Structure 1
Amino acid sequence: MRRRQALAVIITACATPALGQPDTPPGPLAEADPLPENLPAPAEAPPTPAMLGAGAGPAHPSGAAAPIASPFALPLGMQNLTNGGWRVQLARDARDIPAGLQPSLQEIARGLAATSGRVTIIAQAPAPALEASFARRLSLERGLAMKAILVAGGLAATRIDIRPMGRQANGADVVDILPPGAAR
């Protein structure tokens, strides 16, 4: 009997509207209902999303910094690229960057550290037709060696992307350094 009474009290309490609430079902505010004066102003609308098509890639702002040029003459074995980067020529099957080029590369790293954006290292290694995996591993080792030199020169390791290209159709023993904003 007590259970029935308790159940009846609970049902009655749930069925009656709470104090101060209208008996009408919730819905949109009627036009005549005034809004309270103490509400904050509505937030601004979010910006419209970027329209990315199938061929769209990352856009570089028109005010992007010009590629960094070498402030000094490059040593033998290095050259400026037309897109603002630098190329290091390596000996066949060389895994490390020549020690004679490291001071110049560290000077470039100091210049890149003063910029913002990501730096890309593109490493290549030609290989015989059946040894594609060898070329890929060799190009990765070259890219990691270049990254270590740039980090020693003051460029943050978290700003460096390595692209080990392995064997390419026009394969060469080179490592390219591309500054932020340079065409890839």
Structure 2
Amino acid sequence: MPGLLQTHGYARHLIALLRPDLTTTEIDALATLRISRQKAFTQGPQHLRALICQRALTRSVGDPATMKEQLEHLLTAADHPRHDIRVLPYEPLIHPGASGPFVMLHFDDSTPDLVCVETMNHSVYFEGEADVRTYTEVYSGLWERALPPSDPRICLRQMIKESQQ
């Protein structure tokens, strides 16, 4: 689940799961920082294309209320005019994106594109042409396999409905 699309509750639970070494205060601070980045991003002119694996949407992070809130937030985000969110349907566990999440940053000016890969303690940035091309090809291939633009909303509505039962 991309950080720019997480609710505070979801982010807090996820950070706590991934970083059990952190105190409650540190977890809250990181979740708050994630949400402030999200607010700054959505207020700017940037365009967000997010590809979310359906498997991630069915794995509960936190309690059922946290997951329902997260799914509803994604549904709202999908309607944002500068957001293009797609869901990669269930597939075999191994595909080109299975090595882990990454973020591609494209700039309008002469700044070269970047790829960011977050690890446990660091973020690693790749700007070499070959690295960026490899990640671009993987992303493009997965994007083509994702559900059409209207289907993620249908998928999210169904998941929200199922969470209420």
- TM-score normalised by the chain length of structure 2: 0.28
TM-score between both structures, scaled by the size of structure 1: 0.26
